[in-house]
Structure formats: structure tokens, C-alpha cells
Structure 1
Amino acid sequence: MNITQEKINDLSSVVTINIKPEDYKAKVEKAIKEQGKKVRMPGFRPGMVPAAHIKKLYGKSILVDEINNLLSDSLNNYIADNKLEVLGQPLPKVDKDKNYNWDFEDSFEFSYELGLAPDFKADFSSKDKFKKYKITADAETIKSRTESLQRAYGKMTNPETSEEGDSLYGDFAQLAEDGSVLEGGIAHTTSLRIELVEDAKIKKSLVGLKKDDVVSFDIQKAYKNNAHQIHNLLNISEEEAEALKGNFQFTVKNVNRLEAAELNEEFFTKVFPDGSVTTAEAFNAYVIEEIEKQMEMNADRKFSNDIYEYALANINFDLPSDFLKRWLKATNENLSDEELEKDYDSFEKNLKWTLIENKVVQTNNLEIKPEEVVALAKERISAQFAMYSPTPIDDVQLNQYASNFLQDRERATQMFNEVRSNKVFEFLKSTVSTEEKAIDYKSFLELK
């Protein structure tokens, strides 16, 4: 067997594999014998079908399979032995002038186009400067969080007349064009939150209603054609909600109002049964700490994203775009040319970042340990269980769940990539220079 590589340019090359009969005959004969042991045919004892008979019936298909296996192994070994960093997968080059008889004496020649990763440097140092934001909780955010907790521990009342913050419990009925209830139309009993209605005039018509009052309105206008909202409200599919037209009648059965809890001893005991907070001042301090802890995570995500955007903007290299587009089309049969052009920039951006990550890992000898992948899997599983039960899962069960979870190759790869990405960002954050800057939450949200 002879394998050669023709370099087209720095980002692509063609690998040609020449196969002679002596390269595949022994493999084909072995495969034919194995097939003879498995196949059952009338007139022959099980496992005793002659090789010549198997060759006559199945020889060409066995030959094709063995040639394909030989090509795959040879190409993968060649790429590994020559340390070629390929992008995507090799693409077979079709030569219409070559026709083979597949008669066990043919010599074969197959060529594959390779897209190659570019050679570049990803050097970061203290010369690379970034802002690290310390976000402070502003009065508006503190007030909003406080009110949210008060509502969460408040009580439901049923006032006589509705106000904008109330919910109306009642019956929806679809109307015909003449304003009568449509026979066989959509009918559903549900709660309607007035504050979620987007049309100002319709929202106003829902304020001041009492039990048994009836109001009619255009459902699409009320929610500005938000199919997701309408689908939830009427218990229909989003497709039906999107196509829905006309007016609906709503009959009020009850007015519901959530009255916020007062900041008193009863409230503090409910929220903090351990007695850690007993005064309005201590509660305010808790809210500020909670908000700023969350904001610290937001600031860290901003720091990571700034490094990501900086790297993509300042580490310049080309990719074999023509090859990658052909590879994407070849491996995604339903991908249209329009979809490819629309999404390619995003694909290329993600690929560039992956190559930068790989370069940082290689250049700085960053090690991703198996136990780190297992630890992340356990963290994810624990968080999932915590959503359904406050009781922590014990270590024995957690280890078993993590082991089963990582048996799935796709999940294991996802966890590995996440650990690697976290490690790259941790390294880069410790390498670059940072200037800490205090900023209030509202101003932080306005940052690009």
C-alpha cells in the first residue's frame, strides 16, 4: 500500500491511498471464511458452507466492506502518524473516470481532501488589560427583590373589583363574526394576569371588573401576536395559537389578588426559620448580600465574555472556509444553501474559539483530569436532584449516577469540554491584567 499527500496550500491537502491486491486479499479471505461459519443455507450443515460458494454469492459486498475498512484505518493512522490537525472530516474526491470491476484482482486508488487547522499563536500576558466589574446593588433592584420576597410569602385575597396587578379567574369562549359564542369553538377556564396583557386599551378594559362581568377582545391584539402566551392561556398548540384570529369572550368567575407580606416578625420567621434575620435592617442587609452575590456571577460571566471577544478580535488566522462549507453540506443532508450561508459565520466563530482553546491548553500544558470531569457531572446531577428534593443525595448513589451518566459518550464529551473551557478561562483570568471598577447594576446592564 502506498499513501501520499499533496499539499494544496497551508489549509488544505489531498491524501491519496493506493491499494494493491496483496493489501486486501488475506483480509477478504478471512472475512469470507467467517461468513461461512455464520450463514445458514439449504443443503449445507451449519457452519460448513464452502468458501467458494460464499465468495460467489457475497464476495463483492465483502470485498467492498474490507476495502472501506482498510481505507478508514489507513487514513486515520496516516493522519495520526503525521500529526495532521484536521478540521471536520476527510472528504472523498470523486473521480468519474475510475471504474473498478471488484473482481479480487483490482488495484484501487482513492483520494481524500483534508481541511487543515491553521498555525497561529495564542499568547496572553499582563499586557492584555481588562476591566473586572464590582457590581453594587442599587435602590431599585433592592426594592424589586424585597417586593418579590414579600409577594412570595404574601396571601391571596379576593377583592370585589379588579386592579392592574390582579389575576382574573374565569371562562374564555371563542366568538363568531356576529359576536355570538362560536359553536364548537375554543373554550377554556383559566387565570388571566392583567399585567401580562400588552395592549393598553384592552388592559384598561380588564380593570374594574367584578364577578360575572363579561368582556370581549381580540386575543392576538391583546398579546401582540405572541403565540407562546396565547398557547398557554387557551391550552392550545403554538401552531394553533399563531393561526388564531378573531375575538374571545371572558366571563369573570373570581378576582384574585396577591397581597404582599409586611416586613414584620411573622414574615422574618417564615423566610428565616433559623432566626438569622429578625429585623428590617438585617433583612435589607441579607437582600443586598444576595443580590451582590448573584451580580458577582454576572460580572464574572462578563469578564469571560470580554476575554472571548478580545481573543477572537486579536488572534487572527484563516480557516479553509470553502472546504468547511462543503463538509457541512456533505454531513447535513437537509442543510440548504441559504441556511448554510446564514449560520456559517456563527459556526466559524465557534470553531475559531475551539482552536484558540486548544492552543492555550497545548501551549501552557493545561491538564484536564478524569476526576474533574466526574466532579462536574456529580455537581450537575446534585443540582438536578435539588430541584425536586431538599434532601441531598448520598455519595454512594451520586457516584453511581455519575458513572452511568458518563457512560454516554456525548454527555462525557460535553462534560470534558466544559471542564476544559472553565480551565482555559481560569488560566487566562490569572494571566491578563485586571482593573477593578465599581458600577451599579443598572449601568452594568447597559454595557455592551
Structure 2
Amino acid sequence: MNITQEKVDALNAVVKINIDPADYQPRVDKAIKENAKKAKLPGFRPGMVPASHIKKMYGKSILVDEINNLLQDTLTKYIEEQDLRVLGQPLPKTDNEKEYNWDFADNFEFNYELGLAPEFNIDFSSKDNVTQYVIKVDDETLASRIKNIRRSYGKMTNPDVSADDDVLYSELVQLSPDGSVFEGGISNTASVRLDQIKDEAIKASLIGLKKGDVLTFDIQKAYDNDAAKVAGLLKIEEDEAADLKSNFQLTVKNVNRLEEGDLNQEFFDKLFGEGVVTTEAEFTAKITEELETMMVQDSERKLQDDIYKASIAKVDFNLPDDFLKRWLKATNEKLTTEELEGGYNDFAQNLKWTLIENKIITDNKIEIKYDEVFALAKVRLDQQFRMYSPQAIPEDQLAQYTVQYLQNKENANKIFEEVKALKVFDYIKSVITLDKQDILFTDFNKLVSEK
């Protein structure tokens, strides 16, 4: 067997593998004998089928399989021995001029295209600056959060006339273009929350309604063409909701209003536990602390995103783009050319970040330990459980769930990659300069949405 490598350029190479009968014949003979032992054919006792009979019937397909296996083993070993940093996977290079008889005597030549990772250096230092936002709780955000919490622990009432933030329990019926009820059309009984209506004119028309009132409205305009919201309200598929053009008739069956809970000791105890908070000032301080904790997480996500973008811009290198596009197309048969071109830039950016991550990990001998993976997995599971119940799960039970979660290879890889990314971010933050800047939460949200 002869293996050679031809460098096309710094990012592309072609590996040629020449195989003669002496290379593949022993593997083929062994495979034929193994098949003969397992074969169950009419006229032969189990395990007694002659190897010559198997070769005559299935020899060529066995030959093809074994040569493919030999190629795979050989190519993998060669890449490891040559320490080639391959991107994607080797692609067979088709040669229409070569034809083989597959008669156990051919000499074969196979060519594989390789996309190679670029060589690059990373020189982050204190001269590199990234803004770290320190988010402050503004009065509007604090008041909104307190209002939502009070309503969560408030009581439901049924006023005669609807007002802002009420919920209209209504019957929704699809209309024809002429305004009549569309026979066989969409209908559903649903709770229409006025605080979710995006169009101010439509929202105003829903205020001042009472039980039994009927009006016609443009449901797409009401929700700013949010297909998910419309689909949820009408109990239809999102695709159907996105294409929906009809107006709807809304008949009020009831007006519901969630009154805010009183700021008394019973309310404080329900929220924080008995005796933890006893005054309105302490309650406000607690909510402020909760918001600030959430805002630290928001700030950290923004900082990580900015470091990611700064890293991609700073560590400038090329990728074997043409090869990678062919590889993506070869491994995703349903991927259209338009989808490939539209999504390739994001793929390339993420691949560049992965290469930067790996180099930082290697150059700085950063270790990722199982204890760190386990600890982060436990945090993520705890966060998921708290979405459904504020009550914390006992520590021993949470640890047991974490063990089970990490037994799934996909879950374990996901958490491992997250730990790896966090360690890389921590490293970069330790060597660059973080310019701290105070910002109100409302201004921070505007900043994030603009980008």
C-alpha cells in the first residue's frame, strides 16, 4: 500500500491511497469465511456453506465493503500519524476515467480531499478593551416587576367593563371577506390578554367592553404578525397562522381582572418564607436584589457575546471555504444551495471560534475536570426545575438527577462544551482590559436590541 499527500495550498490537500491485492485479499478471505460460518442457505447445513459458494454469490459486495473498511482505517491512521488538523471529514474525489472490474485482482487508487485548519497566533493583552456593563435597576423596571409579583399572588375579579391589562375570555370566529361568519372556518374560545395586544388602536377598542359585546378585529395586526401568538390563541399550526388573512369576530364571554395582592405580612411570608421580610422597604430591597442578580447574568451574556465578536475580528485567518461548503452539502443531502449560502457565514464564524477556543485551551494547558462538568450540569438542572416550582429540590435528589442526566452522551457533551467556553471566556477576561460602564436596565435592553 502506498499513501501520498499533495498540498494544494495551506488549507487544502489531496491524499492518494494505492491498494493492491496483497493489501485487501487477506481481509476479504477472512470476511468470506466468517460469512460462510453464519450463512443459512437452502441445501446446506448451518455453518457448512463452502467459502467458494459465498465468494461466488456475494464476493464482489464483500470486496467492496472490505476495501471501504480498509480505506477508512488507513486514512484515519494516516491523519493521526501525520498530525493533520482536518476540518470536517475527508471527501472522496471522484474520477470518472477510472473503471475497475472488482475481480479480486485490481490495483485501486483512491483520492481524498482534505480541508486543513489554518495556522494562527493569539496575542490578547491588556491593550485589548471590551466594555463590561454594570446594569442598574431603574424605577420603571422595578415597578413593573413588583406589579407582576403582586398580580401573581393577587385574586381574580370579574368587573363589568374591561380596562387596560384585563383579560377577555372570548369566543373567536373567523369571518369571510364580506364580514359574514366563515362557514367551516376557525373558531376557538380563548383568553385574550390586553397587555399582549401590540396595535394601540385595536387595544383601545378592547377597553370598555362588557360581557356579550361583539366586535371585529384584524388578529394579525393585533399581534404584529406574531404567528406563534396567533397560533396559540386559535389552537392552529404556526404555518397556518402565518398565512391567515381573515378578520375575526370577538364575543366577550367574561371580563377577568387580576387584582394586585396586598403588601401585608401574609403576602411577604408566601413569597419569602415566614418572617424573612416584614416591611415594604425590605420587600422592595429583596426584589431589587433579585433583579440585580438577573441583570448580572444579562450583562455576562452580553460580555461573552462581545468577547466572541472581538476574538473573531482580532484573530484573522481564512478557512477552506470551498471545501467546507462541499462537505456540508455532501453530509446534508436536503440542504439547498440557497440555505447553504445563507447560513455559511454563521457556520464559519462558529468554526473560527471553536478553533480559537481549542488553541487557547491547548496553549494555556487549561484542564476541564469532571467535577466542573458535574457542578454546571447540576446548576442547569436546578434552573430548569425552578422554572416550574420555586421550591428547591433536595441536594441529594438533584445530584442523583445530575448523574442520570450526564449518562446521556449528548447531554454530557453539551455541558462539557459549555464549561470549555466558560473557561476560555475567563481566560480572555483575565488578560484583556474590561472597561466597566454603568447603564440602566431599560437602556441596556435598547442597546442589545439595536445589535
Taking structure 1 as the reference length, what is the TM-score of the superposition? 0.94
Could you tell me which residue of structure 2 aligns to residue 438 of structure 1? 438
Shift of 1:42: 1.4
Shift of 1:27: 0.8
Flag the 1:433–1:184 CA change in 2: closer, same or farther, 3 A.
closer
**Structure-2 separation of matches of 1:174 and 1:433:** 58
Shift of 1:59: 0.7
Which residue identity does 2:204 align to in structure 1?
K
Residue 165 of structure 1 aligns to a residue in which SS?
A: coil
Structure 2 counterparts to residues 281-360 of structure 1, below 5 A: 281-360=281-360
Could you tell me which residue of structure 1 aligns to residue 214 of structure 2? 214
**Structure-2 separation of matches of 1:331 and 1:374:** 33
Could you tell me which residue of structure 2 aligns to residue 427 of structure 1? 427
**Structure-1 separation of matches of 2:200 and 2:337:** 43
Structure 2 counterparts to residues 397-436 of structure 1, below 5 A: 398-399=399-400, 401-436=401-436
Shift of 1:18: 0.8
Could you tell me which residue of structure 2 aligns to residue 86 of structure 1? 86
Which range is displaced more, 12-21 or 211-220?
A: 211-220
Which residue identity does 1:187 align to in structure 2?
S
Paired residues in the alignment total 447
Identity, % of aligned positions: 56
Could you tell me which residue of structure 1 aligns to residue 125 of structure 2? 125
**Structure-1 separation of matches of 2:378 and 2:398:** 10
Shift of 1:128: 2.1
The answer to whether structure 1 residue 102 and structure 2 residue 102 are counterparts is: yes
Residue 241 of structure 1 aligns to a residue in which SS?
A: helix
Flag the 1:200–1:140 CA change in 2: closer, same or farther, 3 A.
closer
Flag the 1:89–1:444 CA change in 2: closer, same or farther, 3 A.
same
**Structure-1 separation of matches of 2:79 and 2:191:** 62
Could you tell me which residue of structure 2 aligns to residue 70 of structure 1? 70
Structure 2: gaps (5+ residues): none
Contact residue 382 and residue 398 of structure 1 kept, 8 A: no
Flag the 1:133–1:396 CA change in 2: closer, same or farther, 3 A.
closer
Residue 328 of structure 1 aligns to a residue in which SS?
A: helix
Residue 121 of structure 1 aligns to a residue in which SS?
A: coil
Could you tell me which residue of structure 1 aligns to residue 251 of structure 2? 251
Could you tell me which residue of structure 2 aligns to residue 151 of structure 1? 151
Which range is displaced more, 201-210 or 88-97?
A: 201-210
Could you tell me which residue of structure 1 aligns to residue 200 of structure 2? 200
Residue 255 of structure 2 aligns to a residue in which SS?
A: strand
Flag the 1:139–1:398 CA change in 2: closer, same or farther, 3 A.
same
Deviations 1:341-379 (A, max 9, x none): 111111111111010001101110111223333333333
Could you tell me which residue of structure 1 aligns to residue 55 of structure 2? 55
Flag the 1:5–1:220 CA change in 2: closer, same or farther, 3 A.
same
Flag the 1:347–1:178 CA change in 2: closer, same or farther, 3 A.
closer
Flag the 1:281–1:423 CA change in 2: closer, same or farther, 3 A.
same
Contact residue 382 and residue 393 of structure 1 kept, 8 A: no
Flag the 1:369–1:128 CA change in 2: closer, same or farther, 3 A.
same
Flag the 1:3–1:123 CA change in 2: closer, same or farther, 3 A.
same
Which range is displaced more, 31-40 or 191-200?
A: 191-200
Could you tell me which residue of structure 2 aligns to residue 392 of structure 1? 393
Residue 7 of structure 1 aligns to a residue in which SS?
A: strand
Structure 1: gaps (5+ residues): none
Contact residue 385 and residue 393 of structure 1 kept, 8 A: no
Shift of 1:325: 1.0
